[in-house]
Structures are given as structure tokens and as C-alpha cells.
């Protein structure tokens, strides 16, 4: 199974090396759980090493995406849009059956054989567009089949109702049809709320079977925390983390793309020790290097 790096620090090893090339991954989670962040990181990682990106939004318009991406530390997102390596499609309010059956195939003809990274955020309205579950399934099968011809996709999926109850038809159909499923959720421990992630499925891969805490840090996005056991043992607090990180990275980031290096350096200027609470510095540095360790690119 050929793998590509996800752009999410710490998750590649949980997916047996990364996301399966030319596959569809569904990222499921409740409101604010980090779905768009996950998807954006995946696109950004590709664009930084020469992939093309396609963002199909059913939720936000172009300006909203740009504003939010910048707010989260992706400062040069517009450069990719201007260069047309990142194409944004506002599918809001479209007739989705028509979009999937007629517009998609045209698009695919044009892009077939490319190695694009694709995001559909969120998939939910496409499923809701039909009440009949056979039509829902058929439409999704067609969509997944078509987008696999042009690259590797992340489709986000809204989770409604009780967390972890993934038996509703709007979740189980895409879960069956996707090659991989990642579940993002909030866990409440006493008075604190933490974010955690679990790989529910990853075809042809030896994936992690347990839950992993993660954080969202501006400029980096989702970062899987290192093993919780080491975290509870490691109680000492390090000071000046952004500065230490900067020095560490200065020496080590030689091989990573210029755009990534600039983004990370720029982000570090705005971050404080509090942002890195519970994150081990050497783990983070190794994680960044790991994610850029392959020369995978769109060409």
C-alpha cells in the first residue's frame, strides 16, 4: 500500500505510515472537533511539496476559508490560490445529485491521473440531498470512485447526537464506503475537556486501535500528543518553549520546504509556553521531520 504523509503531526505512524494514496478518508466529528483543521492541514502539506489541492466546500465561501486559514497560521494560502495550485469550489447550495453526476465527471476528465489532494468539507449535505438511502449510497459510491481517479481525499462528516453513536445512516454509509475513518471527539474528565482521536478503519494497514489525545496549535494545527503515560510522568515544566523550538528547528529543518519553514518560524513568534503545554519538544521536532521525510509530491 502506497502511503502519503498526512500533514498531521504524529498521525502517520498510527496509520501505518500515512494516508493511502488514491483513497478516501472520512474524518468524523462533532461541531468544533477539528475536522476542517485536519482537512486543511492535509491540503497544506501537499501544496508545500508540490501537490495540487482541491477544496470543495459545502459550508464556507472562499473568503471565510482564507480568513480562518490565516487565523490558524496558514499565512500564504492565497499564494496557492493565485497560482491556481489550490482550487476552491464553492458547492454551497448546489444540486448535489447534479454536481456529483454531471459536474464531477467533467472535472475528473480534466484532472484524471493527477495526484491532487482533495477535501470535501463537509460531506453531510451531499448525503442529506437524498432521503432514499440507496440513492445516498449510490451517489457517494460514484463520488468516491470519481475522486479516486484524481488523487487522495479527505471528506469530513458531521457527527450529530450522542458522541460515538455512529450508527445513523448519514454516518454509517460513508464509513462503509471510505477506505479510512478517523473519529475526532471531545472527552470530558472532571472539569476539563480534552480532544482525542481514534482510527476506526484504515484499509490494508496495521493501524492504531486506541484513542490518542491531540491538541490544536496555531500554525501547526492538529498535533497528536505523545503517549499519555510519558506525559503523566513528565511533570516538569519547560520555559521559553517557542525559543527552544526555534533553535532546535534552525539546525534540523534544512530539508523541509521553504514555505513550511517560514510558516513554522512565523507561527512560533506568536506562540507562548501555554500553547505547548503537555507537548514534548523533541517529539514535536521529530514529528515535523517525519511528516516531511518523504519526497512525495504531486508530480
Residue among 10, 17, 34, 151 that touches ligand ATP (CB under 6 A): 34
Q: Which is nearer to ligand ATP, 52 or 275 (CB)?
A: 275
Answer yes or no whether residue 192 interacts with ligand ATP by CB under 6 A. Answer: no
Map 77-90 to HEC letters.
HHHHHHCCCEEEEE
* E strand map for the chain: 3-4, 19-20, 24-29, 53-57, 86-90, 116-121, 151-158, 180-189, 192-202, 212-217, 221-224
Is the Cβ–Cβ distance between 150 and 111 less than 8 Å?
yes
Q: Which is nearer to ligand ATP, 3 or 44 (CB)?
A: 44
Burial class, 132, CB count within 10 angstroms (exposed 0-12 / middle 13-18 / buried 19+): exposed
Residue among 6, 12, 20, 33 that touches ligand ATP (CB under 6 A): 33
Shortest distance (Å) from residue 31 CB to ligand ATP: 4
Instruction: Kindly indicate which of the ranges 32-40, 84-92, 145-153, 288-296 contains the residues binding ligand ATP, using the contact rule CB under 6 A.
Output: 32-40
Indicate which of Mg ion, ligand ATP, none lies near residue 34 (CB less than 5 to 8 Å, by partner kind): ligand ATP
Helices (H) and strands (E) in the chain, counts: 12, 11
Q: Which is nearer to Mg ion, 57 or 115 (CB)?
A: 57
Instruction: Kindly indicate which of the ranges 27-35, 160-168, 247-255, 289-297 contains the residues binding ligand ATP, using the contact rule CB under 6 A.
Output: 27-35
Is the Cβ–Cβ distance between 97 and 139 less than 8 Å?
yes
Q: Which is nearer to ligand ATP, 32 or 255 (CB)?
A: 32
Residue nearest to Mg ion (CB): 36
Answer yes or no whether residue 47 interacts with ligand ATP by CB under 6 A. Answer: no
CB neighbours of residue 206 within 10 Å: 9
Q: Residues near 161 by Cβ (< 8 Å), separated by ≥ 6? A: 168
Shortest distance (Å) from residue 121 CB to Mg ion: 6
Q: Which residue in 120, 127, 122 sits closest to 151, CA to CA?
A: 120
Q: Which is nearer to Mg ion, 182 or 285 (CB)?
A: 182
Q: Which is nearer to ligand ATP, 1 or 187 (CB)?
A: 187
Q: Which residue in 245, 262, 250, 253 sits closest to 290, CA to CA?
A: 253
Answer yes or no whether residue 37 interacts with ligand ATP by CB under 6 A. Answer: yes
Residues that bind Mg ion (CB under 5 A): 35-36
Answer yes or no whether residue 89 interacts with ligand ATP by CB under 6 A. Answer: no
Helix locations, 191-299, DSSP H:
228-233, 241-252, 258-270, 281-291
CA distance 195 to 171: 20
| Interacting residues with ligand ATP between 235 and 294 (CB under 6 A) | none
Binding region for ligand ATP (CB under 6 A) = 29, 31-37, 72, 158, 216-218
Amino acid at each position: 500500500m502506497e502511503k502519503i504523509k498526512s500533514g498531521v503531526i504524529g498521525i502517520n505512524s498510527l496509520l501505518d505510515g500515512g494516508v493511502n494514496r488514491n483513497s478516501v478518508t472520512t474524518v468524523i466529528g462533532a461541531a468544533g472537533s477539528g475536522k476542517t483543521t485536519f482537512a486543511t492541514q492535509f491540503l497544506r502539506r501537499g501544496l508545500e511539496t508540490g501537490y495540487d489541492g482541491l477544496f470543495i466546500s459545502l459550508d464556507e465561501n472562499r473568503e471565510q476559508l482564507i480568513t480562518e486559514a490565516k487565523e490558524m497560521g496558514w499565512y500564504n494560502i492565497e499564494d496557492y490560490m493565485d497560482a491556481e495550485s489550490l482550487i476552491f469550489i464553492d458547492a454551497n447550495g448546489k444540486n448535489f445529485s447534479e454536481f456529483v453526476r454531471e459536474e464531477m465527471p467533467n472535472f475528473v476528465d480534466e484532472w484524471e491521473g493527477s495526484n491532487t489532494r482533495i477535501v470535501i468539507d463537509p460531506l453531510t449535505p451531499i448525503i442529506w440531498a437524498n432521503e432514499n438511502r440507496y440513492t445516498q449510497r449510490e451517489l457517494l459510491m460514484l463520488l468516491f470512485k470519481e475522486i479516486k481517479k484524481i488523487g487522495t481525499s479527505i471528506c469530513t462528516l458531521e457527527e450529530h447526537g450522542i458522541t460515538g453513536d455512529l450508527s445513523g445512516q448519514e454516518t454509517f454509509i460513508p464509513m462503509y464506503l471510505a477506505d479510512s475513518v478517523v473519529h475526532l471527539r471531545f472527552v470530558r474528565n472532571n472539569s476539563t475537556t480534552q480532544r482525542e482521536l481514534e482510527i476506526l478503519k484504515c484499509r490494508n494497514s496495521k493501524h492504531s486501535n486506541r484513542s490518542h489525545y491531540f491538541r490544536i496549535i496555531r500554525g501547526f494545527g492538529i498535533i497528536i500528543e505523545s503517549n499519555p503515560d510519558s506525559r503523566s510522568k513528565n511533570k516538569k515544566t519547560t520555559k521559553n518553549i517557542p525559543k527552544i523550538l526555534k533553535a532546535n528547528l534552525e539546525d534540523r529543518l534544512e530539508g523541509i520546504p521553504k514555505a513550511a519553514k517560514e510558516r513554522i518560524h512565523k507561527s512560533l513568534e506568536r506562540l507562548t509556553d501555554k500553547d505547548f503545554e503537555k507537548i514534548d519538544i523533541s517529539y514535536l521536532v521529530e514529528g515535523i521531520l517525519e511528516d516531511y521525510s518523504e519526497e512525495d509530491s504531486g508530480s
